[in-house]
Chain A
Amino acid sequence: MWDWNYTWEILPQLLKVVPITIAATLSAFIFACALGAPLAMAKQSKNKWLSLPVSAIADFIRKTPLIIQLFVLVFVLPTSIGLTLSPFVAGMIGLGIHYSTYLSEVYRSGIEAVPKGQWEASTALNFTKTNTWLRIILPQSIPPTIPVMGNYLITMFKETPTLSAITLVELLMTAKTLGSSSFKYVEALTLVGLIFLVLSYPSALLVRALERRMQAREGSAAIK
């Protein structure tokens, strides 16, 4: 039977860990965004000694489960190089690195969508490589990727329960603790599901609205 009293009792405890879950998501996302950009550039580099190894490593990270990478961060690093990370930092780095490989692909598609003529005009006007990236290429390649980036943010948010495996006290971890002390798992887990839904759904709507606006803008730009 569903126990309403119990539900109201544990709700505040679950809500209390919402901020940490969001903080973990956001910091991991920012980390992934920051790492994804140089990753995309390295993968595109003409220098094979840079592009091939970086592509291989990124591929490896993307094709292995996140949880294994988290375990490496938490269990292998302390014994191998004596580096002990807090669950939050390890979670941020692990989730961030994992998703940076996806985001680098998003960047890459954004960069490749910029016509070759933009590079050539930049050369003809004698912009340095740095200025070409900063003033010509990136300002054109980032805006169209924003909706996709938003979707990855939501995906990362939904991935945070994985971080409970490295003892980060987020929603799922809290629900498990509550459930194991009262044996009322249904209420706790249902609430976790609902909280995720309540937070992701509006974000998803926001992303969709953004997407529609981008398309409208592209459409108007295409009209001469």
Chain B
Amino acid sequence: MSQNIKNFSAEPIVRYRNVTKVFDQRVVLKRLDLDIMPGEKIALIGPSGSGKTTIARLLMTLEQPTSGTIEVNGELLWHMQHKGKLITANEKHLHRMRSSIGMVFQHFNLFPHMTILRNVMEALVHVRKIPKPQAQQRALELLQQVGLQDHIKKYPAQLSGGQKQRVAIARALVMEPKILLFDEVTSALDPELVGEVLDVIKGIAEKKDTAMLLITHEMDFAREIADRILFTDGGVIVEQGTPEQIFENPQSPRLQAFLTRFLKERQYGLASETAAAGAE
């Protein structure tokens, strides 16, 4: 799909090994194994509650695995060596590891007390310690890329949902992560604003060699930009493959059922939209 050069024979940038996550005695992820190659674009689809968000949050260090390991750049994320023993990573280790990872959230999570420009600059200045003028320059470039150069002095509350999400994407991108996580970043948007955000993400997917893990319900979008699609259900990856394999030739009954249900929903959605338009 995308034109960037991907060296899939290289070492994976992310490696989940035997990762299990339990919430309140409920197994949410079961012995997950997953490799993500540098620059690879992966779409993660699956029914609600199947563990998609949890997969991303474990990598963003927002949630700690119950067991198993995650490697980033060949280094353990949640563990570190201490006196010859492997122990749970401390904040300092996590801080170092997190510099390769970024995330865009469903509800944007912009900082409401800062202007758009400061939202994008703040971490460059205070985390990456880049001098303010250069940081501002970088932030402006990114805001231009997402088409928001005319709004830099506004506050998040003054923007539409689609604009907010584009700011959030710029804010994550400016940190130059090696892997960028998107958790249903268009689910909270009004339908007419979804397109502008997806377009921005497509642009990034084509231009940047950042690896991307996209959790999405937008099947056409997943099909268009993903190198590989994972289907999760009940805390396991049930099936994975290229978009063609997944959409044209689904193997497992669960994926088949999921896709059928999805198609029906979309037809119904279109039908109800037309009905609403007719009623107006």
Contact = CB atoms under 8 A, between A and B. Distances in A.
Interface of A: 115, 117-118, 120-121, 123-129, 131, 135-136, 139-140, 220-224
Nearest to A117: B109
Top 10 A-B pairs, shortest CB-CB distance: A121-B109, A117-B109, A125-B123, A124-B103, A221-B157, A126-B98, A126-B127, A139-B113, A131-B126, A140-B113
B51 interface: no
A12 to B, nearest CB: 47
Interface in B99-125: 99, 101-103, 105, 107-113, 122-123
A127 B157 contact: no
A222 to B, nearest CB: 7
A110 to B, nearest CB: 13
A126 B92 CA distance: 11
A131 B129 CA distance: 12
Nearest to B122: A135
A222 B91 CA distance: 35
Contacts of B126: 127, 131, 135
A123 B109 contact: no
B46 interface: no
Main secondary structure, interface of A, reads helix
13 contacts: A117-B108, A118-B111, A120-B60, A120-B62, A123-B60, A123-B98, A124-B103, A125-B172, A126-B175, A131-B127, A135-B122, A136-B111, A221-B112
B61 interface: yes
Contacts of A224: 157, 159-161
Contacts of A129: 91
A125 B105 contact: no
Could you say which of B61, B99, B112 has the most chain A C-beta atoms within 10 Å of its C-beta?
Answer: B112
Contact of A124 (B60, B91, B159): B60
B207 interface: no
B196 to A, nearest CB: 15
